[in-house]
Structure 1
Amino acid sequence: MTTKPSKQGDTVLLEQLDHIAKGLAETLSPFCEVVVHDLTHPENAIMAIYNNLSERKVGEPATELGLARIQDRDFPQVIANYANAFRDGRRAKSTSIGIRGARGDYVAALCLNVDLTLFNNLQSAIHEFTRVDMQEPLMESLSPANVEALHGAIDQFAARRSKTPRSLKADERKALVKE
């Protein structure tokens, strides 16, 4: 026997989804907007919006993805890391997760929109910091001259005493320096 889920069931689901959204928003603030969409009311689907980066408002209608989910039960449940943009042109990376009710229909969506501005600026800064101006490297060594020979002499000194360089005592190290 199939029963139609109660509105109360969807309400509880949406309330729990709102708690999840709030927790994610607190963790990912200030770089990530988290939106809860109530797809049972597409004309005013935005139920909650945390870290509002898109300047949208609670009560605004569903986006194209939300409408596509409502119309097509086979629409992908998770669409992750897709390119997006805020109204003011800032680039974003978005993830949209469809939430199904007891009958298997989409009743909600949890959406994350990451503002890439800071990360792109960091990427540019790192690129600039690691950039080198010369095409052909200069022949310069940053290690002391004859470092291999010095290491070899230390190893031989320690080996004559049947020890490793690290196990040499203070008086043996003084003798090594005098050699």
Structure 2
Amino acid sequence: MTAEQVHDAERDAIITALRPVVDGIVATFGPLCEVVLHDYRQPEKSVVAVAGSVTGRAVGGAMSEIGMRVLARGDEAADDLNYLTRTGAGKLVKSSTMVLRDSTGAVFGALCVNVDITAVNEAHTLLGALAGLGAATAEPPVTAFGNDIDSVVDAILDAHRLGRNQTWAGLDRTERLDLFRGLDEHGVFAVRRAIEQVAARLGISRASAYSYLSQARAATDPTPAGGHT
């Protein structure tokens, strides 16, 4: 076996070992809990096990935009624990994303726990109002969840400038670079075929999309001119 085959066998073993953990966590915490096991070696169908139904995920579904950001960060990705987000349907969700690594430290997947706290938050707000506590909290961001990668990429794109009744033709060069930079920071271009999908949505050629992406990345490169990488 090659070294890569050995590592893949190890990753497969880790995934297999975690499958019963998915069911066990949901059995412990009940119907408001969802656990999703991702294998990022196949991002278009990264969901390999799921229990509970908070975000509507299904086995064979794609990663969310959170997964895309992990994929974009590669082996530098870290666990993200106890963060708040909202689904497109308006559910308030408390989540934790724990990256999976093989023995070399390479990130290849994630175990995600999502808890629907919508009712808890509503009760908290009501009790706070009754007690005269009116402190406002920041609104959690909406996260794109979907069972196919195209819908997730489209949702992220819509959340940027083109989702605000602005056309590609109406953006100046700086705004276009900002759009590509924002999509890149969300990990969109870490997914295979995403550049073609974005180009089609914008009505530009694939070559133009690659050019804007390259320029956006160059503008954020911290290496000074003439420096060494």
Would you call these one fold, judging by a TM-score over 0.5? Answer: yes
1:99 offset after TM fit, Å? 0.5
State how many pairs are aligned: 131
Kept in 2: contact 1:92–1:113 (CA 8 A): yes
Q: CA separation of 1:68/1:127 partners in 2, compared to 1, >3 Å: closer, same or farther?
A: closer
Match of 1:26 in 2: 27
**Identity of matched residues, %:** 27
User: SS state of the match for residue 99, structure 2?
Assistant: strand
In the TM superposition, what whole-angstrom CA distance separates every residue of 1:79-122 from its partner, at most 9, and x where no partner exists? 01222112311111111110011232111101111111121133
Where structure 2 has 5 or more consecutive residues not aligned to the other structure, the ranges are 133-229
| TM-score, with structure 2 as normaliser | 0.51
Q: If each structure's strand is expressed as a fraction of its own residues, which one has the higher value?
A: 1
Where structure 1 has 5 or more consecutive residues not aligned to the other structure, the ranges are 132-179
Kept in 2: contact 1:35–1:46 (CA 8 A): yes
Q: CA separation of 1:65/1:130 partners in 2, compared to 1, >3 Å: closer, same or farther?
A: closer
Distance of 1:122 and 1:30 partners within structure 2: 18
Q: CA separation of 1:118/1:74 partners in 2, compared to 1, >3 Å: closer, same or farther?
A: same
Q: If each structure's helix is expressed as a fraction of its own residues, which one has the higher value?
A: 2
Match of 1:144 in 2: none
Report the residue type matching 1:49 in the other structure. V
Match of 1:83 in 2: 84
Kept in 2: contact 1:35–1:111 (CA 8 A): yes
RMSD across aligned positions (CA): 2.3
1:42 offset after TM fit, Å? 0.7
1:125 offset after TM fit, Å? 4.7
Kept in 2: contact 1:34–1:51 (CA 8 A): yes
Match of 1:164 in 2: none
| TM-score, with structure 1 as normaliser | 0.64
Match of 2:18 in 1: 17
**Is 1:97 aligned to residue 98 of structure 2?**
yes
- Which structure ranks higher in relative contact order (CA pairs < 8 Å, sequence separation ≥ 6)? 2
